[in-house]
Amino acid sequence: MFGMIVMGALFLLIALAIALAVLGVHALLLGRLPGHRLPRLVRQPRVWGAGALLMVVSWNQGSPTLLAIGIGLVALGHVMKPAR
């Protein structure tokens, strides 16, 4: 029973990492986010995408520094005003 819970949590974590990586690449390359809700929340999609990719890479590398930088970039992507 415990093994099934651990496997389910691991599967969910991997699925979330893949989704975050796909959204990060999409935002970084195209400069916009898919869907209706996420584009309204993120002001700078390229910065957000770079942060999302850094968070996924930090998980693979086991680096808390990359994780902190990625979280900071995602937060900046939400609050920075677009350049005019």
Q: In this predicted structure, what is the pLDDT of residue 1?
A: 85
Q: Read off the pLDDT of residues 48-75 as tens digits, 9 standing for 90 and up.
A: 999 999 999 998 888 999 999 999 999 9
Q: In this predicted structure, what is the pLDDT of residue 70?
A: 95
pTM score of the predicted model: 0.85
The 3-state secondary structure of the chain, one letter per residue: CHHHHHHHHHHHHHHHHHHHHHHHHHHHHHCCCCCCHHHHHCCCHHHHHHHHHHHHHHHHHCCHHHHHHHHHHHHHHHHCCCCC
Tokens of 41: 């929340």
Question: Mean per-residue pLDDT for 31-43?
Answer: 91
